Structure 1
Amino acid sequence: MKGSDFSKLIKTRLTVLVTFSASISFIIAVKQANKQGVDTWGLLYSTTMWINWIKLVVGGFLVTSAANCFNEVIEVKYDKLMKRTMDRPMPAGRMTTGQGLVLGMAMGIIGTYLLGSLNLLTGLLSVFSILLYAFAYTPLKRVNAVAVFVGAIPGALPALIGYVAGQPHGRIDEIAIILFLIQFVWQFVHFWAIAWVLDDDYKLAGFRLLPTGERDKTSAVVTFIFAVILVPVSLLPTIYGYAGYYVGGVSLIMSLLFLYQAFGLLRTLEIKAARTLMFGSFYWLPVVQLMFLFDFIGK
């Protein structure tokens, strides 16, 4: 198997984004633990912290890769039907589903072990994430749009897992919930924008992922509503006093721009507008998360 095949198998770009999100939450959690007088993981930027951060990044990368691998094992016959997936190693015949399953299990076991070595809850959440993504979200994609709601949970769990990993005793507090909610609500606009752009390809495999299953006004309205909900959700760190007004201002600007892009889709119902919204989603999450991180650790 070539390196490019492995990259397609684990969906490298998606996996890196997921790991990035978890690593930000981890650093925020360590800083919060330090504020509370808990330094079991070491002070911020200590050697101990970076060792555990590496465990999180490597473990999170492997767990996410495993979930993607199981997803492709289950969907191999459908991936053969879609232009964007037919060249993946399993549908293209360069890897058997048995090989993919073994590789996925190996990555899942090693990744879960690394995350579990940080604390038990981190390991349990990683297992839950794999099971929910591969064995609930994946089969539901051919049923109806409820799959997106199910998929948004494992999609947002990396933010929660990263935070729990940064807490020596695996504690879930208010900040952890806020980080999860931000990524959870963002998931809907992000994914429906992608689903709008790729709807023709998805339908070749029988996937109906838009709110109504079609590129219609109602699907655009639902997408816009979630973009509206994202505005106050993005301000939660500032509202609850965990971030300053500068962070709130940047988050508000990013969210209003994102909302404007969602309105463009609602107004035109065009694939071009959905693509603009999709690319906007790629920028929104890392900018908001990084702003929160820099402000939080700077206090």
Structure 2
Amino acid sequence: MIWKDFTKLIKLRLTFLVVFSASISFLIGSKVNGEIVWGNWLILITGGFLVTAAANCFNEIIEKDLDKLMKRTMDRPIPAGRMTTGQGLVLGLFMAIFGTYLLGKLNLTTGYLSVFSILLYAFVYTPLKRKSPIAVFVGAIPGALPPLIGYVAAHPKIDEIALILFGIQFVWQFPHFWAIAWVLDDDYKLAGFRLLPSGKRNLTSAIFTFASTLLLVPVSLLPTYYGYGGYYVGGVSLICSVVFLYLAFKLLKDLQIDSARKLMYGSFFYLPIVQLMFLFDFIGKVK
């Protein structure tokens, strides 16, 4: 039960996706430097896991009373009463401090970015969710920082490749999160969250979702356009983007929860496929 509660506290699946994204970018940055330091890769994974877990922990502490109102979150350890706020705070602070220390050992830029990510996610995005749909834009910034953090952990310079990695994940956040918000809108409204662009499941929200997915098509081709990837990553990214766009068009056409759910599941596959292809193609080009 302790492990199960811990995984709910840190949102294990989300944390895993974040760490995966950062680790892929670390390998890309390492190839820019010419070699992969696997010890640093392990430090990044450990530090990234702890920092992400800490941000999620602080998020749940702040939203403990709201989590009680939603079916999806009422069984989390703090709102369910299996863990006190104090216990969660101590655990979150330990993970934040130790995780930041590990990432700071790689270089100061990585450490600073990790602190910025925690602060922006937990203390700006989290309270903003009840005030305005602009919260999704704000949340997309810390949501897109993991690949940037992973890259500069290996290559401590924010260059074109770093910005491309950040840009792909930043734009991806919008159709990904709006699809989730569409599916869970009834639950979110119980806590007063305003996350869909118009605040409702309607044509306006579907148009914003479709437009963001459309924007992702050229953004996903940036690695090939700037010569950091070849036709493999370009072709796979284009195929994935077109499929993703089709799913968003289906939502635009019928405005159904089922279509939003398919778009949400599609987003889970889209990002790791595109990032892995970028890595494999980039390694092939620099050999």
Could you say which TM-score interval applies, normalised by the shorter chain?
over 0.9
Corresponding position: 1:66 with 2:51: no
**Matching residue within 120, 133, 152 for 2:121:** 133
Give the secondary-structure state (helix, strand or coil) at the position aligned to 1:297: helix
Aligned length: 285
Give the secondary-structure state (helix, strand or coil) at the position aligned to 1:117: helix
Cα deviation for residue 298 of structure 1 reads: 2.0
- The aligned residue for residue 265 of structure 2 is 279
CA distance in 1 between counterparts of 2:44 and 2:137 reads 26
- The aligned residue for residue 29 of structure 1 is 29
TM-score (norm 1): 0.95
Q: Give the CA RMSD over aligned residues.
A: 0.6
- The aligned residue for residue 79 of structure 1 is 67
- The aligned residue for residue 110 of structure 2 is 122
CA distance in 1 between counterparts of 2:172 and 2:200 reads 21
**Matching residue within 223, 248, 265 for 1:237:** 223
CA distance in 2 between counterparts of 1:158 and 1:250 reads 22
- The aligned residue for residue 10 of structure 2 is 10
Tell me the alpha carbon deviations over residues 132-152 of structure 1, each in whole angstroms, 9 at most, x when there is no partner. Answer: 000000000000100000000
Q: How does 1:1-299 map to 2 (within 5 A)?
A: 2-34=2-34, 43-44=35-36, 49-167=37-155, 170-299=156-285
Tell me the alpha carbon deviations over residues 171-213 of structure 1, each in whole angstroms, 9 at most, x when there is no partner. Answer: 1100000000000000000000000000000000000100011
CA distance in 2 between counterparts of 1:255 and 1:29 reads 24
CA distance in 2 between counterparts of 1:33 and 1:262 reads 38
AA aligned to 2:252 is L
CA distance in 1 between counterparts of 2:265 and 2:166 reads 21
**Any unmatched runs of 5+ in structure 1?**
35-42
**Any unmatched runs of 5+ in structure 2?**
none
Tell me the alpha carbon deviations over residues 197-243 of structure 1, each in whole angstroms, 9 at most, x when there is no partner. Answer: 00000000000100011000000000000000000000000000000
Runs of at least 4 residues off by over 4 Å: none
Tell me the alpha carbon deviations over residues 37-89 of structure 1, each in whole angstroms, 9 at most, x when there is no partner. Answer: xxxxxx23xxxx11000000000000000000000000000000000000000
CA distance in 1 between counterparts of 2:219 and 2:100 reads 30
